[in-house]
Amino acid sequence: MLARLSYVVFLLFFTAVLVAFWPSYFSHLAAQPTYHPQAHGIAMTLWCLMLIAQALLIRSGHRSLHRLLGRASYVLVPVIVLVTLNFLHFRVTGVRVFDDVVLYFMALIVNALVAFAAIYGLAIYHRRNAQLHTRFMLATIFPLFTPVTDRLIGAYGPALAASVPRIGGTPVLPFAGFVLADSLLLLLVLWD
């Protein structure tokens, strides 16, 4: 059941990505100040599109094409790791004071990146077990939740933004994303 519906989950998630990043990224593709956000945005967009394509290929019974496209992930995931670290380095270069907010930002990105790589690694390790592989591939979107939910809350949920915990006066918007991700994971565990 999960494998049959995973393309819907990936499509919904990618729709949320488009809505969340439309104002700051997708509507200004040609006007990005440096290559850093472009490289990161392209790599993450390719990941989302690959997840959708892979789920649709499995659903339609094209296993050999699924495996062929899956091999591209052996290149894409290291690229995602490198461009994300490069983007993080770019964002903190020139920061004179590494206060709680900057350190929190760095920890959030590094933790998400480590979780993403670990979950992807488990998916590849279990690629011969379709059920486990599917579950781990689905789980690769969980480390990506907070960048999406942060922007959606910031743009469309100012009341929610006012109610989350703060670090140094700055709202910790990922708190809401973590609550959503944890709730979804709990529902998936119960469903399983």
The pLDDT score that the predictor gives to residue 175 is 85
Residue 2: pLDDT above 70? Answer: no
Rounded average pLDDT over 70-84 = 97
Q: Where are the beta strands (DSSP E) in 36-192?
A: 166-167, 170-171
Higher pLDDT, 117 or 6: 117
Residue 1: pLDDT above 80? Answer: no
Assigned token pair, 138: 């689905």
pLDDT band at 65, cuts 50/70/90?
very high
Residue 89: pLDDT above 80? Answer: yes
Mean pLDDT of the chain: 90
Rounded average pLDDT over 83-107 = 87
What gap in Å lies between CA 89 and CA 81, rounded to an integer? 12
CA distances (Å), origin 60, targets 50, 54, 56, 63? 15, 10, 6, 8
pTM: 0.89
Rounded average pLDDT over 129-150 = 92
Rounded average pLDDT over 175-180 = 86
- At residue 167, what are phi and psi to the nearest 5 degrees? -125, 120
Q: Where are the domains of the chain?
A: 2-191
Residue 3: pLDDT above 70? Answer: no
